[in-house]
Protein backbone atom coordinates (compact mmCIF):
# COMPACT_ATOMS: atom_id res chain seq x y z
CA UNK A 1 0.00 0.00 0.00
CA UNK A 2 1.04 3.59 -0.54
CA UNK A 3 -0.38 7.03 0.07
CA UNK A 4 0.18 10.41 -1.55
CA UNK A 5 3.01 12.42 0.02
CA UNK A 6 2.06 15.56 1.94
CA UNK A 7 4.16 17.69 -0.43
CA UNK A 8 4.14 17.36 -4.20
CA UNK A 9 7.03 18.21 -6.51
CA UNK A 10 7.24 19.36 -10.12
CA UNK A 11 9.32 16.81 -11.96
CA UNK A 12 10.76 16.57 -15.48
CA UNK A 13 11.55 13.08 -16.77
CA UNK A 14 14.07 13.07 -19.60
CA UNK A 15 13.45 10.12 -21.91
CA UNK A 16 10.20 8.17 -22.27
CA UNK A 17 11.39 4.71 -23.16
CA UNK A 18 10.94 1.84 -20.72
CA UNK A 19 12.48 3.30 -17.55
CA UNK A 20 11.39 6.86 -18.24
CA UNK A 21 7.77 6.02 -18.98
CA UNK A 22 7.38 3.81 -15.91
CA UNK A 23 9.10 6.45 -13.75
CA UNK A 24 6.97 9.31 -15.07
CA UNK A 25 3.68 7.44 -14.73
CA UNK A 26 4.39 6.10 -11.25
CA UNK A 27 5.70 9.40 -9.87
CA UNK A 28 2.47 10.99 -11.11
CA UNK A 29 0.57 8.16 -9.43
CA UNK A 30 2.30 9.17 -6.19
CA UNK A 31 0.84 12.64 -6.57
CA UNK A 32 3.63 14.62 -8.22
CA UNK A 33 3.25 16.80 -11.31
CA UNK A 34 5.33 15.20 -14.06
CA UNK A 35 6.30 16.19 -17.59
CA UNK A 36 7.97 13.57 -19.77
CA UNK A 37 10.38 14.85 -22.42
CA UNK A 38 11.40 13.04 -25.58
CA UNK A 39 12.92 13.93 -28.95
CA UNK A 40 10.62 11.57 -30.90
CA UNK A 41 7.63 13.59 -32.07
CA UNK A 42 5.60 10.54 -33.11
CA UNK A 43 6.10 8.89 -29.72
CA UNK A 44 5.21 12.07 -27.81
CA UNK A 45 2.05 12.49 -29.87
CA UNK A 46 0.98 8.93 -29.11
CA UNK A 47 1.77 9.28 -25.40
CA UNK A 48 -0.32 12.44 -25.20
CA UNK A 49 -3.23 10.29 -26.42
CA UNK A 50 -2.45 7.55 -23.89
CA UNK A 51 -0.99 5.16 -26.48
CA UNK A 52 2.11 3.33 -25.22
CA UNK A 53 5.15 2.35 -27.33
CA UNK A 54 5.84 -0.70 -25.13
CA UNK A 55 3.90 -3.58 -23.61
CA UNK A 56 3.97 -3.57 -19.81
CA UNK A 57 1.16 -4.83 -17.56
CA UNK A 58 -0.87 -2.07 -15.81
CA UNK A 59 1.21 0.77 -17.25
CA UNK A 60 -1.28 1.93 -19.88
CA UNK A 61 -4.04 2.24 -17.28
CA UNK A 62 -1.85 4.41 -15.03
CA UNK A 63 -0.70 6.63 -17.91
CA UNK A 64 -4.28 7.27 -19.02
CA UNK A 65 -5.42 7.80 -15.42
CA UNK A 66 -2.71 10.38 -14.75
CA UNK A 67 -3.19 12.16 -18.07
CA UNK A 68 -6.86 12.56 -17.22
CA UNK A 69 -5.98 13.80 -13.72
CA UNK A 70 -3.64 16.43 -15.17
CA UNK A 71 -0.63 15.21 -13.22
CA UNK A 72 1.13 13.77 -16.27
CA UNK A 73 1.87 15.18 -19.70
CA UNK A 74 4.46 14.81 -22.43
CA UNK A 75 6.39 17.29 -24.56
CA UNK A 76 9.20 17.70 -27.06
CA UNK A 77 10.27 20.97 -25.41
CA UNK A 78 12.99 20.77 -22.75
CA UNK A 79 12.45 24.39 -21.77
CA UNK A 80 8.75 23.75 -21.13
CA UNK A 81 9.52 20.73 -18.98
CA UNK A 82 12.23 22.48 -16.97
CA UNK A 83 10.26 25.66 -16.32
CA UNK A 84 9.40 25.47 -12.64
CA UNK A 85 10.81 21.95 -12.26
CA UNK A 86 12.47 21.12 -8.95
CA UNK A 87 13.79 17.73 -9.99
CA UNK A 88 14.80 16.24 -13.36
CA UNK A 89 15.11 12.47 -13.77
CA UNK A 90 17.51 11.36 -16.51
CA UNK A 91 16.08 8.15 -17.96
CA UNK A 92 17.76 7.91 -21.35
CA UNK A 93 19.30 4.78 -22.82
CA UNK A 94 22.82 3.53 -22.10
CA UNK A 95 23.05 0.62 -24.56
CA UNK A 96 26.16 -1.50 -24.93
CA UNK A 97 28.66 -0.17 -27.43
CA UNK A 98 30.66 -2.29 -29.85
CA UNK A 99 33.34 -2.93 -27.22
CA UNK A 100 30.92 -3.64 -24.38
CA UNK A 101 31.35 -0.19 -22.86
CA UNK A 102 28.03 1.68 -22.30
CA UNK A 103 27.20 4.11 -25.09
CA UNK A 104 26.82 7.41 -23.22
CA UNK A 105 25.83 9.68 -26.10
CA UNK A 106 22.23 10.03 -24.94
CA UNK A 107 23.41 10.89 -21.41
CA UNK A 108 25.80 13.48 -22.79
CA UNK A 109 23.05 15.01 -24.92
CA UNK A 110 20.60 15.12 -21.99
CA UNK A 111 23.24 16.72 -19.74
CA UNK A 112 23.97 19.40 -22.33
CA UNK A 113 20.26 20.17 -22.70
CA UNK A 114 19.79 20.42 -18.93
CA UNK A 115 22.76 22.77 -18.67
CA UNK A 116 21.60 25.06 -21.47
CA UNK A 117 17.85 25.11 -20.84
CA UNK A 118 17.51 25.19 -17.05
CA UNK A 119 16.27 28.72 -16.31
CA UNK A 120 18.90 31.21 -15.15
CA UNK A 121 19.16 31.37 -11.38
CA UNK A 122 17.13 28.18 -10.88
CA UNK A 123 18.12 25.28 -8.63
CA UNK A 124 17.60 21.80 -10.10
CA UNK A 125 18.26 18.39 -8.59
CA UNK A 126 19.33 16.08 -11.45
CA UNK A 127 18.58 12.41 -10.73
CA UNK A 128 20.28 9.64 -12.67
CA UNK A 129 17.71 6.87 -12.97
CA UNK A 130 19.28 5.06 -15.89
CA UNK A 131 22.05 2.54 -15.29
CA UNK A 132 25.25 4.56 -15.63
CA UNK A 133 28.93 3.67 -15.20
CA UNK A 134 30.52 4.42 -11.85
CA UNK A 135 31.76 8.01 -11.99
CA UNK A 136 29.02 9.32 -14.30
CA UNK A 137 27.39 11.39 -11.55
CA UNK A 138 30.67 13.13 -10.80
CA UNK A 139 31.22 13.88 -14.50
CA UNK A 140 27.68 15.27 -14.82
CA UNK A 141 28.12 17.47 -11.76
CA UNK A 142 31.32 18.96 -13.18
CA UNK A 143 29.70 19.48 -16.61
CA UNK A 144 26.61 21.15 -15.16
CA UNK A 145 28.70 23.34 -12.87
CA UNK A 146 30.74 24.56 -15.83
CA UNK A 147 27.57 25.77 -17.57
CA UNK A 148 26.11 27.10 -14.34
CA UNK A 149 28.90 29.63 -13.97
CA UNK A 150 27.52 31.44 -17.03
CA UNK A 151 23.81 31.26 -16.16
CA UNK A 152 23.72 31.38 -12.39
CA UNK A 153 21.72 28.13 -12.26
CA UNK A 154 22.65 25.61 -9.58
CA UNK A 155 22.63 21.83 -9.85
CA UNK A 156 22.98 18.85 -7.53
CA UNK A 157 23.39 15.40 -9.10
CA UNK A 158 21.95 12.37 -7.29
CA UNK A 159 22.03 8.71 -8.29
CA UNK A 160 18.73 6.87 -7.80
CA UNK A 161 19.06 3.65 -9.82
CA UNK A 162 16.02 1.72 -10.98
CA UNK A 163 15.40 -1.92 -10.10
CA UNK A 164 12.54 -2.62 -12.49
CA UNK A 165 11.81 -6.03 -13.97
CA UNK A 166 10.16 -6.02 -17.35
CA UNK A 167 6.74 -7.55 -16.96
CA UNK A 168 6.33 -6.34 -13.36
CA UNK A 169 7.80 -2.83 -13.52
CA UNK A 170 4.78 -1.00 -12.13
CA UNK A 171 4.63 -3.28 -9.09
CA UNK A 172 8.39 -3.00 -8.64
CA UNK A 173 8.20 0.80 -8.63
CA UNK A 174 5.24 1.09 -6.27
CA UNK A 175 6.26 -1.81 -4.00
CA UNK A 176 10.08 -1.80 -4.07
CA UNK A 177 12.40 -3.93 -1.96
CA UNK A 178 14.51 -0.83 -1.35
CA UNK A 179 15.20 2.65 -2.68
CA UNK A 180 18.83 3.67 -3.23
CA UNK A 181 19.70 7.37 -3.21
CA UNK A 182 23.33 8.45 -3.52
CA UNK A 183 24.91 11.88 -3.60
CA UNK A 184 27.40 14.24 -2.02
CA UNK A 185 24.78 16.91 -1.27
CA UNK A 186 22.83 15.57 1.72
CA UNK A 187 19.97 18.04 1.22
CA UNK A 188 19.52 16.89 -2.39
CA UNK A 189 19.62 13.25 -1.29
CA UNK A 190 16.82 13.93 1.20
CA UNK A 191 14.83 15.84 -1.40
CA UNK A 192 14.89 12.82 -3.70
CA UNK A 193 14.12 10.42 -0.84
CA UNK A 194 11.07 12.55 0.02
CA UNK A 195 9.63 11.95 -3.46
CA UNK A 196 8.96 8.38 -2.36
CA UNK A 197 7.33 9.30 0.94
CA UNK A 198 4.10 7.73 -0.25
CA UNK A 199 5.70 4.28 -0.32
CA UNK A 200 5.26 3.03 3.20
CA UNK A 201 7.79 0.85 5.01
CA UNK A 202 10.29 0.85 2.15
CA UNK A 203 13.95 0.86 3.26
CA UNK A 204 15.94 3.76 1.84
CA UNK A 205 19.68 3.30 1.37
CA UNK A 206 21.46 6.67 1.48
CA UNK A 207 25.03 6.67 0.25
CA UNK A 208 27.50 8.53 -1.97
CA UNK A 209 27.05 8.72 -5.73
CA UNK A 210 29.64 6.15 -6.78
CA UNK A 211 28.37 3.56 -4.30
CA UNK A 212 24.79 4.01 -5.54
CA UNK A 213 25.97 3.53 -9.11
CA UNK A 214 27.86 0.40 -8.08
CA UNK A 215 24.86 -1.05 -6.20
CA UNK A 216 22.90 -1.17 -9.45
CA UNK A 217 25.61 -3.01 -11.38
CA UNK A 218 26.37 -5.38 -8.50
CA UNK A 219 22.68 -6.24 -8.07
CA UNK A 220 22.13 -7.12 -11.72
CA UNK A 221 25.40 -9.04 -11.90
CA UNK A 222 24.47 -11.12 -8.86
CA UNK A 223 21.04 -12.00 -10.27
CA UNK A 224 22.64 -12.95 -13.58
CA UNK A 225 25.11 -15.08 -11.62
CA UNK A 226 22.26 -17.01 -9.95
CA UNK A 227 20.76 -17.73 -13.37
CA UNK A 228 24.05 -18.89 -14.85
CA UNK A 229 24.81 -20.96 -11.75
CA UNK A 230 21.56 -22.91 -11.89
CA UNK A 231 22.03 -23.36 -15.64
CA UNK A 232 25.45 -24.86 -15.04
CA UNK A 233 23.89 -27.15 -12.43
CA UNK A 234 21.31 -28.09 -15.07
CA UNK A 235 24.08 -29.14 -17.44
CA UNK A 236 25.54 -31.37 -14.73
CA UNK A 237 22.10 -32.75 -13.85
CA UNK A 238 21.58 -33.64 -17.50
CA UNK A 239 24.73 -35.75 -17.48
CA UNK A 240 24.25 -37.51 -14.12
CA UNK A 241 20.51 -38.15 -14.31
CA UNK A 242 19.33 -35.66 -11.68
CA UNK A 243 16.39 -33.24 -12.01
CA UNK A 244 17.41 -29.59 -11.75
CA UNK A 245 13.88 -28.47 -10.82
CA UNK A 246 14.05 -30.55 -7.66
CA UNK A 247 17.63 -29.42 -7.07
CA UNK A 248 16.55 -25.79 -7.33
CA UNK A 249 13.63 -26.35 -4.97
CA UNK A 250 15.89 -28.00 -2.42
CA UNK A 251 18.39 -25.15 -2.69
CA UNK A 252 15.81 -22.39 -2.62
CA UNK A 253 14.28 -23.48 0.67
CA UNK A 254 17.55 -22.46 2.31
CA UNK A 255 16.89 -18.86 3.41
CA UNK A 256 20.49 -17.97 2.65
CA UNK A 257 19.88 -18.84 -1.01
CA UNK A 258 16.18 -18.26 -1.70
CA UNK A 259 14.12 -19.60 -4.63
CA UNK A 260 14.11 -16.60 -6.98
CA UNK A 261 16.24 -16.64 -10.14
CA UNK A 262 16.88 -20.37 -9.78
CA UNK A 263 14.85 -21.45 -12.82
CA UNK A 264 17.06 -23.27 -15.29
CA UNK A 265 16.52 -22.54 -18.96
CA UNK A 266 18.04 -21.12 -22.11
CA UNK A 267 19.60 -18.17 -20.29
CA UNK A 268 18.93 -14.52 -19.59
CA UNK A 269 18.40 -11.77 -22.14
CA UNK A 270 16.76 -8.36 -22.31
CA UNK A 271 18.16 -4.87 -22.05
CA UNK A 272 19.71 -5.07 -18.56
CA UNK A 273 21.54 -8.22 -17.55
CA UNK A 274 23.60 -8.72 -20.74
CA UNK A 275 24.82 -5.15 -21.02
CA UNK A 276 25.23 -4.54 -17.28
CA UNK A 277 27.31 -7.66 -16.66
CA UNK A 278 29.45 -6.79 -19.66
CA UNK A 279 29.80 -3.17 -18.53
CA UNK A 280 30.85 -4.27 -15.04
CA UNK A 281 33.38 -6.67 -16.55
CA UNK A 282 34.84 -3.80 -18.60
CA UNK A 283 34.83 -1.53 -15.54
CA UNK A 284 36.71 -4.13 -13.49
CA UNK A 285 39.24 -4.71 -16.26
CA UNK A 286 39.84 -0.99 -16.59
CA UNK A 287 40.40 -0.77 -12.83
CA UNK A 288 43.02 -3.51 -12.97
CA UNK A 289 40.79 -6.26 -11.51
CA UNK A 290 40.37 -9.63 -13.22
CA UNK A 291 36.59 -10.34 -13.18
CA UNK A 292 36.70 -14.15 -13.28
CA UNK A 293 33.17 -14.73 -12.02
CA UNK A 294 31.61 -12.17 -14.37
CA UNK A 295 33.30 -13.75 -17.37
CA UNK A 296 32.09 -17.19 -16.35
CA UNK A 297 28.54 -15.83 -15.99
CA UNK A 298 28.59 -14.47 -19.55
CA UNK A 299 30.18 -17.62 -20.98
CA UNK A 300 27.64 -19.90 -19.30
CA UNK A 301 24.74 -17.76 -20.48
CA UNK A 302 25.93 -17.90 -24.08
CA UNK A 303 26.56 -21.63 -23.81
CA UNK A 304 22.95 -22.38 -22.82
CA UNK A 305 21.67 -21.11 -26.16
CA UNK A 306 24.09 -23.30 -28.05
CA UNK A 307 23.32 -26.25 -25.75
CA UNK A 308 19.68 -26.22 -26.87
CA UNK A 309 20.79 -26.34 -30.50
CA UNK A 310 23.32 -29.11 -29.78
CA UNK A 311 20.74 -31.19 -27.89
CA UNK A 312 18.30 -30.76 -30.74
CA UNK A 313 20.98 -31.81 -33.20
CA UNK A 314 21.56 -34.99 -31.17
CA UNK A 315 17.83 -35.69 -31.16
CA UNK A 316 17.14 -34.95 -34.86
CA UNK A 317 20.59 -35.54 -36.50
CA UNK A 318 20.19 -32.74 -39.09
CA UNK A 319 18.38 -29.43 -39.50
CA UNK A 320 18.09 -29.00 -43.27
CA UNK A 321 14.41 -29.29 -44.13
CA UNK A 322 13.42 -29.77 -40.48
CA UNK A 323 10.10 -28.14 -39.58
CA UNK A 324 10.42 -26.31 -36.26
CA UNK A 325 7.69 -24.57 -34.28
CA UNK A 326 8.87 -22.00 -31.72
CA UNK A 327 6.63 -20.88 -28.87
CA UNK A 328 7.92 -17.63 -27.41
CA UNK A 329 10.16 -14.91 -28.85
CA UNK A 330 10.37 -12.35 -26.04
CA UNK A 331 13.34 -12.77 -23.72
CA UNK A 332 10.85 -13.40 -20.88
CA UNK A 333 7.08 -13.49 -20.35
CA UNK A 334 4.92 -10.38 -19.90
CA UNK A 335 7.00 -8.19 -22.19
CA UNK A 336 7.40 -7.53 -25.90
CA UNK A 337 11.16 -7.00 -25.54
CA UNK A 338 13.31 -9.20 -27.80
CA UNK A 339 16.65 -7.54 -27.10
CA UNK A 340 19.28 -10.27 -26.53
CA UNK A 341 16.48 -12.83 -26.67
CA UNK A 342 17.75 -16.43 -26.55
CA UNK A 343 14.78 -17.43 -28.72
CA UNK A 344 15.90 -15.22 -31.60
CA UNK A 345 19.47 -16.51 -31.40
CA UNK A 346 18.23 -20.10 -31.54
CA UNK A 347 15.81 -19.34 -34.38
CA UNK A 348 18.57 -17.61 -36.36
CA UNK A 349 20.89 -20.62 -36.01
CA UNK A 350 18.19 -23.03 -37.17
CA UNK A 351 17.30 -20.84 -40.15
CA UNK A 352 20.96 -20.53 -41.13
CA UNK A 353 21.25 -24.33 -41.17
CA UNK A 354 18.25 -24.81 -43.45
CA UNK A 355 15.39 -25.46 -41.04
CA UNK A 356 11.91 -24.15 -41.76
CA UNK A 357 10.94 -22.19 -38.64
CA UNK A 358 7.52 -20.90 -37.64
CA UNK A 359 6.92 -18.99 -34.42
CA UNK A 360 4.32 -17.40 -32.20
CA UNK A 361 4.53 -14.99 -29.26
CA UNK A 362 1.60 -13.23 -27.54
CA UNK A 363 3.28 -9.80 -27.54
CA UNK A 364 6.69 -9.73 -29.23
CA UNK A 365 6.09 -10.67 -32.86
CA UNK A 366 6.26 -7.11 -34.16
CA UNK A 367 9.63 -6.52 -32.57
CA UNK A 368 10.87 -9.97 -33.63
CA UNK A 369 9.89 -9.32 -37.25
CA UNK A 370 12.08 -6.23 -37.34
CA UNK A 371 15.13 -8.15 -36.09
CA UNK A 372 14.56 -11.45 -37.91
CA UNK A 373 12.33 -10.76 -40.93
CA UNK A 374 12.91 -14.22 -42.46
CA UNK A 375 11.13 -15.85 -39.51
CA UNK A 376 7.59 -17.02 -40.36
CA UNK A 377 5.16 -15.69 -37.75
CA UNK A 378 1.83 -17.32 -36.96
CA UNK A 379 -1.51 -16.09 -35.66
CA UNK A 380 -1.53 -18.45 -32.68
CA UNK A 381 0.39 -21.23 -30.98
CA UNK A 382 -1.48 -24.03 -32.71
CA UNK A 383 -0.63 -22.63 -36.15
CA UNK A 384 3.05 -22.44 -35.18
CA UNK A 385 3.25 -26.13 -34.25
CA UNK A 386 1.14 -27.58 -37.07
CA UNK A 387 3.09 -30.15 -39.14
CA UNK A 388 6.23 -29.48 -37.06
CA UNK A 389 8.88 -32.12 -36.46
CA UNK A 390 9.90 -30.44 -33.23
CA UNK A 391 8.47 -27.73 -30.97
CA UNK A 392 10.70 -25.47 -28.88
CA UNK A 393 9.19 -23.67 -25.88
CA UNK A 394 11.51 -20.69 -25.38
CA UNK A 395 9.50 -18.13 -23.36
CA UNK A 396 7.59 -18.96 -20.18
CA UNK A 397 4.23 -17.45 -21.19
CA UNK A 398 1.45 -18.96 -19.03
CA UNK A 399 -0.72 -19.58 -22.08
CA UNK A 400 1.83 -22.09 -23.38
CA UNK A 401 1.37 -24.14 -20.23
CA UNK A 402 -2.40 -24.14 -20.80
CA UNK A 403 -2.33 -25.41 -24.40
CA UNK A 404 -4.17 -28.60 -25.37
CA UNK A 405 -1.10 -30.77 -25.86
CA UNK A 406 -3.11 -33.71 -27.16
CA UNK A 407 -4.13 -31.40 -30.01
CA UNK A 408 -0.52 -30.26 -30.40
CA UNK A 409 0.67 -33.89 -30.56
CA UNK A 410 -1.91 -34.83 -33.17
CA UNK A 411 -1.01 -31.86 -35.37
CA UNK A 412 2.75 -32.53 -35.49
CA UNK A 413 4.69 -34.68 -37.98
CA UNK A 414 7.03 -35.89 -35.23
CA UNK A 415 6.23 -35.43 -31.55
CA UNK A 416 9.51 -33.98 -30.29
CA UNK A 417 9.21 -31.19 -27.72
CA UNK A 418 12.14 -29.26 -26.26
CA UNK A 419 11.07 -27.30 -23.18
CA UNK A 420 13.65 -24.55 -22.92
CA UNK A 421 12.05 -23.08 -19.79
CA UNK A 422 11.04 -26.25 -17.93
CA UNK A 423 7.53 -24.85 -18.07
CA UNK A 424 5.61 -28.04 -18.80
CA UNK A 425 4.75 -31.30 -17.05
CA UNK A 426 7.23 -33.77 -18.51
CA UNK A 427 5.34 -36.83 -17.29
CA UNK A 428 2.04 -35.72 -18.79
CA UNK A 429 3.68 -34.95 -22.12
CA UNK A 430 5.46 -38.29 -22.25
CA UNK A 431 2.16 -40.02 -21.47
CA UNK A 432 0.72 -38.31 -24.55
CA UNK A 433 3.53 -39.75 -26.65
CA UNK A 434 5.93 -36.80 -26.84
CA UNK A 435 9.68 -37.24 -26.89
CA UNK A 436 10.29 -34.60 -24.23
CA UNK A 437 13.56 -32.85 -23.45
CA UNK A 438 13.82 -30.20 -20.77
CA UNK A 439 16.80 -28.32 -19.38
CA UNK A 440 18.64 -30.40 -16.77
CA UNK A 441 15.73 -32.75 -16.19
CA UNK A 442 17.82 -35.91 -16.33
CA UNK A 443 17.64 -38.32 -19.24
CA UNK A 444 15.37 -41.05 -17.90
CA UNK A 445 16.27 -44.54 -16.64
CA UNK A 446 16.78 -45.94 -20.13
CA UNK A 447 19.59 -43.46 -20.90
CA UNK A 448 21.02 -42.81 -17.45
CA UNK A 449 22.78 -46.16 -17.71
CA UNK A 450 24.85 -44.71 -20.57
CA UNK A 451 26.56 -42.36 -18.12
CA UNK A 452 29.06 -44.36 -16.11
CA UNK A 453 29.92 -42.32 -13.04
CA UNK A 454 33.28 -43.01 -11.43
CA UNK A 455 32.85 -43.60 -7.67
CA UNK A 456 34.88 -41.39 -5.38
CA UNK A 457 38.10 -42.74 -3.89
CA UNK A 458 36.43 -42.77 -0.49
CA UNK A 459 33.68 -45.10 -1.70
CA UNK A 460 36.17 -47.35 -3.46
CA UNK A 461 38.28 -47.56 -0.29
CA UNK A 462 35.21 -48.38 1.78
3-state secondary structure 329-369: CCCCCCCCCCCCCHHHHHHHHHHHCCCEEEEECCCCHHHHH
Question: What does the alpha-carbon distance between residue 330 and residue 268 come to, in Å, rounded to a whole number?
Answer: 11
Give first-to-last CA distance, the chain, whole Å.
Answer: 60
Give the CA-trace dihedral at 42, 44, 50, 54, to 10 degrees: 70
- List, by residue number, the catalytic residues: 272
Name residues whose C-beta falls within 8 Å of residue 435's C-beta, 6 or more positions apart in sequence.
315, 414, 415, 416, 417
DSSP-assigned beta bridge partners for residue 207? 182
**Residues 63, 66, 72, 75: is their CA dihedral positive or negative?**
positive
- In terms of Cβ atoms closer than 10 Å to its own Cβ (0-12, 13-18, 19+), residue 460 is exposed
**Residues 109, 112, 117, 118: is their CA dihedral positive or negative?**
positive
Question: What does the alpha-carbon distance between residue 224 and residue 188 come to, in Å, rounded to a whole number?
Answer: 32
Q: What are phi and psi of 267, to 5 degrees?
A: 105, 170
Question: What does the alpha-carbon distance between residue 99 and residue 286 come to, in Å, rounded to a whole number?
Answer: 13
Name residues whose C-beta falls within 8 Å of residue 106's C-beta, 6 or more positions apart in sequence.
15, 92, 93, 94
Burial 102-139 (b: 16+ CB within 10 A, else e): bebebbeebbebbbebbeeebebbbbbbbbbbbebbeb
Per the CB < 8 A criterion, the answer to whether 301 and 224 are in contact is yes
SS3 89: strand
Q: What are phi and psi of 215, to 5 degrees?
A: -60, -40
Amino acid sequence: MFKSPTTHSRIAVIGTNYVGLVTAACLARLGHTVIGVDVDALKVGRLQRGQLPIFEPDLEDIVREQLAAGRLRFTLDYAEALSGAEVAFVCVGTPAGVDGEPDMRQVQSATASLAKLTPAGAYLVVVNKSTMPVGTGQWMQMTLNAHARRTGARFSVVSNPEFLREGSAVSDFLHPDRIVVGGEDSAAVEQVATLYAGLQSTPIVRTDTRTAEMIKYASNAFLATKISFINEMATICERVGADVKDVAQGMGLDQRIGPRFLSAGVGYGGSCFPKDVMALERLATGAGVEPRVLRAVMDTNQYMRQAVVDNLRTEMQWFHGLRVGILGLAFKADTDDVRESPALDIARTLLDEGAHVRAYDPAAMGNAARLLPELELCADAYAAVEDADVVLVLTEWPEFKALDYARVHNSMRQAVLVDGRNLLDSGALQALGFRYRGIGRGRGPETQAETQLVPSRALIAA
